[in-house]
Chains A and B, each alone.
Chain A
Amino acid sequence: MANVTRTRRVHCALRHINAFITEYEDGGHKVKCGLSRTCGDSCPYLKNPNYKSEYRSAPEYKPKEES
């Protein structure tokens, strides 16, 4: 069995909860989340551990360059 490389916490924008992604040396990953059973295959992190919602609740702020 491959060794764990890291475990990180993510914010799931679909459920507004935290979940954990464990990544392995062989490139595999596991999702640890209290709602895994409820969400089933619809969990976006199952397919892509680096999933990030495109949604932004407000326009992105970019500070202007000082002139």
Chain B
Amino acid sequence: MAVLEEPIKGVPVVKNFINGEWVESKGELKDIVNPAKYETIAKVPISTKEEVNTAVEAAQEAFPDWRRTTPLARVRCLFRLKELLEEHFEELSRIQTQEHGKTIDESRGETRRGIEQVEVATGIPSLMMGYNLEDIATGIDEYLIRQPVGVFGVIPAFNFPFMIPLWFAPYATATGNCVVIKPSSEDPLSQIRLTELADEAGFPPGVWNIVNGGRTVTNALLDHPDIKGIGFIGSTRVARDVIYKRCGETGKRVIAQASAKCYMVIMPDCVVGRTIPALMTSFFGNTGQRCLSGSVLCVVGDDAFYNRFMDDVADAASKIIIGYGLDEAVQMGPLRDKEKKERIMGDIESGLKEGTKARLDGRKNFKIRGDYPDTCFLGPSILENATADMRVAQEEIFGPVMTVVRAKNLDEAIEMANSTRYGNASAIFTSSGKNAREFQYRIESGNVGINIGIVAPMAFFPFSGMKDSFFGTLHSQGQECIRFFTESKVVIQRWL
């Protein structure tokens, strides 16, 4: 299988997209590094508060005309965008691999999941409809209409640089709102290309804006009185202490999706042959940098089952092909940057100090396919002998590390899984419907998998989450997202 050509050449300087124009930022420039080669591929500005204000003003100015544009006309831009995304599918996917490090197959999957958001949002003329009832009293009718709210800020995470902004922007714009997106400053390039295509798709100036940067941009969006709501994906610390809190103080709507610690519960009656590959992509796919990644493997059963099962898990994990994601044979890419690698190495070390035993230690003894520096690479790690109260079983690692705990039975497994403060996703692997139902019923998790390793809801279902994995009321994607981006207005009428 071939090493594919890189789409980003030279070292371009990223611009902001404000009011339908690409404009240079006055902010300082930061390097965007391809983590597999550890070389700079672009420079991104850390934009100023004034630049955010200009973007919000442009969006606010565009809003009255955009909201009066018919829903059918609005979604024509999305139909065109969908076509353009299909035409540039491979280019967009390769950009993600180059800027983030994930494998090309993972990038293609991400591009597809992003396009699906656009496809679902094209249904707005139906999805946005209200409802009515005649004769709520004699001669009086009542109906509900949904109206757009204004300008929204979108602050996505680095781990899915292309897809996450699409959890929000298509729904926001299709319902008649305008957006200001702050792409992750670690990997903004696929988002820049997406915005070029959105521009080509016909969105009028000011409806879809991009302001690059870091904390200054986030704070400016949170402080701006014309920003009516924020869509955020990131850590629990920022989601709870910054985004949710400040949105509360400034009266903004908020969807803040946060950290996770996903339990994968293995019952002795699982179909082992289907479970092992699912676990590999769950724990080690996207190099573990996924809020839906398996993080704790909880094995139920006796020693004989455990030993046989874990031999197979370790054997499969040790065979994962590591390298540059544009090499089509590679199954796991590098981490996004060396700071993340160092943090995860520290987490592995602290797990060992807590008393776990490394069946596989990803810090050493892994091979990189091809001639690439090991700066951001880590192999898969498996830490056995963990207990549910250990830090490695409680706190998010966000890397290719499998912490293994054992439970006597399903009750104990559910209890352990519910002991974490997070509630993003959990899964059970079993061939028993009774076990599956019990798990689904009692698990404290917004997304539940039954024989599914990556519990990612499709675009027409909400991306749920609970406990410390989610702050807000309505979730991204699907109908909940449409409610988030619209105000419900109830009209009661009597004609005399």
Q: Answer whether residue A13 sits at the interface, using C-beta atoms and an 8 A cutoff.
A: yes
Structural contact, B276 and A15, CB atoms closer than 8 A: no
Q: Answer whether residue A63 sits at the interface, using C-beta atoms and an 8 A cutoff.
A: yes
Cα separation A9 to B122 with both chains bound (whole Å): 26
B83-129 residues with Cβ-Cβ distance < 8 A to A are: 83, 86-87, 89-90, 103, 105-106, 108-109, 111-112
Known contacts: A16-B109, A38-B87. The answer to whether A57 contacts B312 by CB under 8 A is no
Q: Answer whether residue A64 sits at the interface, using C-beta atoms and an 8 A cutoff.
A: yes
Q: Answer whether residue B273 sits at the interface, using C-beta atoms and an 8 A cutoff.
A: yes
From B105, B311, B319, A13 is in contact (CB under 8 Å) with B105
A16 cross-chain contacts in B, Cβ below 8 A: 108-109, 111-112
Known contacts: A61-B273, A63-B272, A64-B312. The answer to whether A55 contacts B285 by CB under 8 A is no
Structural contact, A59 and B86, CB atoms closer than 8 A: no
Taking the nearest CB of chain A, how far is it from the CB of B7, in angstroms?
A: 16
Cα separation A57 to B106 with both chains bound (whole Å): 8
Q: Mark A39-51, 1 if CB is under 8 A from B, else 0.
A: 0000000000000
Taking the nearest CB of chain A, how far is it from the CB of B494, in angstroms?
A: 49
A59 cross-chain contacts in B, Cβ below 8 A: 277, 280, 316, 319-321, 331
Taking the nearest CB of chain B, how far is it from the CB of A46, in angstroms?
A: 17
Cα separation A16 to B111 with both chains bound (whole Å): 9
Taking the nearest CB of chain A, how far is it from the CB of B264, in angstroms?
A: 14
Taking the nearest CB of chain A, how far is it from the CB of B324, in angstroms?
A: 15
Task: Please indicate which of the listed interface residues B86, B90, B109, B329 has the most CB atoms of chain A within 10 Å of its own CB.
Answer: B86
B49-99 residues with Cβ-Cβ distance < 8 A to A are: 83, 86-87, 89-90
Cα separation A61 to B316 with both chains bound (whole Å): 7
B108 cross-chain contacts in A, Cβ below 8 A: 13-16
B276 cross-chain contacts in A, Cβ below 8 A: 58, 61
Structural contact, B109 and A58, CB atoms closer than 8 A: no
Q: Mark B316-356, 1 if CB is under 8 A from A, else 0.
A: 10011100000011010000000000000000000000000
Q: Can you name 17 A-B residue pairings with CB atoms under 8 Å?
A: A14-B90, A16-B111, A16-B112, A17-B112, A54-B328, A56-B331, A57-B281, A58-B281, A58-B284, A58-B285, A58-B316, A59-B316, A59-B319, A59-B321, A61-B277, A61-B316, A63-B273
**Nearest 10 A/B pairs, CB to CB:** A58-B280, A59-B319, A16-B112, A61-B276, A58-B277, A38-B86, A59-B316, A57-B281, A58-B281, A16-B109
Interface residues of B (CB under 8 A from A): 1, 83, 86-87, 89-90, 103, 105-106, 108-109, 111-112, 272-273, 276-277, 280-281, 284-285, 311-312, 316, 319-321, 328-329, 331
